[in-house]
Amino acid sequence: MTERWQNELLSSPRRLVDLVERGIITPAESQALHGVEDRFELGISEHYLGLIDPDDPRCPIRLQAIPTRGELNALPGEEADPIGDHRHAAPPLLVHRYPDRVLLMPTLRCPLYCRFCFRKVLLADGPPVRLGPQLDEALDYLRADPRIHEVILSGGDPLLLGDGRLDDLLQRIRGIAHIRRIRIHTRVPATLPSRFTPDLVAILEAYAPLILVSHVNHPREIAAETRRAWRALARAGVMLLSQSVLMKGINDDGAILAELFEDLLDAGVKPYYLHHLDNTVGTAHFRVSLQQGMALVRKLRGRISGTAIPAYVMEIPGGAGKIRVDSSAVTPADEAGTWWLNGPLGERVLYDERALGVQQPAAPAAGLELIDSR
């Protein structure tokens, strides 16, 4: 039996022609986007489509979901695997970068193929996930390393697994004595809230302590159904956190960020991470400068409750891990638009925003004069 959410996904647009048919893009726009469709996955859940404001060409929902030609514009500093997932791939499906936690990707399917996604090349070109044998191998790996205390289900979107498969996976992970925590990273609350059936909530409740990290980038992504889903999860004892990606034209604005984080908190979701955009190919049109990102986050402090403010973080390109974006970990290098990223183990990586298409402000902001000290 297929459930309502599965039917919704089945009828959701997966091709440009579907978008033309629904009047979301024009035939001429579709013509111009064939190259993008050939290169990357496309798919937008009915729910997310319904959030688009048809009268606003700059609608932040539209910009995240509908392809643009900019995606074919690869810059020298951009990469197919920006955060080194492949370099750290242990067996297939696993990324083991930190000793105590692993990412497990039980699917590469998503309810929405976000145009800025850092895994968009993997989602388009990755080998098919074979949940049988590959999962056995991944679980053997987890069992064999007692340092691993946490499994993070990621993807793709792990909540696109059917109830039976998800339950089975959670049960097998829970069966490993040294795994203390399971975390689920998902975009489903904002893109396919109908997935949160009473059955799913009951499954998740059974595996406490369980942390669910919802990916949400704009206050308009918090629909009534999304709030209801979070409420049900909270009642079931699931700990709720969020992560967002800072992006030009979507949320690079103090008032929008403040609204997003306060709305999340009021919906019972603690803002956890605000991510600086990774160096994924064809994402320059979304990129905000580090200087602007730091200024935005600094101003939030005076504006909203500290409980609503997430940590602003970025991945050191290549896979050395995450760092906080602040004036101690990210320091100006000699040339305008170049920065030193100072990792937790003393490593220093030069980060060149000029190779990533970031416009540098004409005059340095007060207190950041160093940036221009050539």
Ligand X SMILES: *Cc1c(COP(=O)(O)O)cnc(C)c1O
Q: What is the binding site for ligand X (CB under 6 A)? A: 95, 97-98, 101, 103, 152, 322
304 binds, among ligand X, ligand SF4, none (CB under 5 to 8 A by kind): none
Q: Find the shortest distance in angstroms from Cβ 157 to ligand SF4.
A: 5
Q: Is 278 in the site for ligand SF4 (CB under 6 A)?
A: no
CA distance 96 to 102: 5
Member of 47, 97, 187, 220 binding ligand SF4 (CB under 6 A): 187
| Residues in contact with ligand SF4, shown as a per-residue x/- string from 120 to 159 under the rule CB under 6 A | -----------------------------------xxx--
Evaluate whether 133 touches 96 at the Cβ level (below 8 Å). no
97 binds, among ligand X, ligand SF4, none (CB under 5 to 8 A by kind): ligand X
Member of 113, 196, 286, 339 binding ligand SF4 (CB under 6 A): 113
Q: Is 117 in the site for ligand SF4 (CB under 6 A)?
A: yes
3-class secondary-structure state, position 68: coil
Evaluate whether 233 touches 240 at the Cβ level (below 8 Å). yes
Q: Which residue has the tokens 């996976």?
A: 169
The footprint of ligand SF4 on residues 212-241 (CB under 6 A) is: 215
Q: Find the shortest distance in angstroms from Cβ 282 to ligand X.
A: 21
Bridge partner list, 232: none
Sign of CA dihedral 317, 319, 320, 325: positive
**Exposure b/e, 169-193, CB count within 10 A at least 16 = b:** bbeebeebeebeebbbbbbbbbbbb
95 binds, among ligand X, ligand SF4, none (CB under 5 to 8 A by kind): ligand X
Q: Among residues 14 and 298, whose Cβ is nearest to ligand SF4?
A: 14
Per-residue DSSP letters for 138-160?
HHHHHHH-TT--EEEE-SS-GGG
Q: Find the shortest distance in angstroms from Cβ 30 to ligand X.
A: 35
181 binds, among ligand X, ligand SF4, none (CB under 5 to 8 A by kind): none
Q: Find the shortest distance in angstroms from Cβ 215 to ligand SF4.
A: 6
Phi, psi of 331 (to 5 degrees): -120, 145
Q: Among residues 46 and 352, whose Cβ is nearest to ligand SF4?
A: 46
Evaluate whether 338 touches 352 at the Cβ level (below 8 Å). yes
Evaluate whether 243 touches 185 at the Cβ level (below 8 Å). yes
Contact residues for ligand SF4, defined by CB under 6 A? 110, 112-114, 117, 119, 155-157, 187, 215
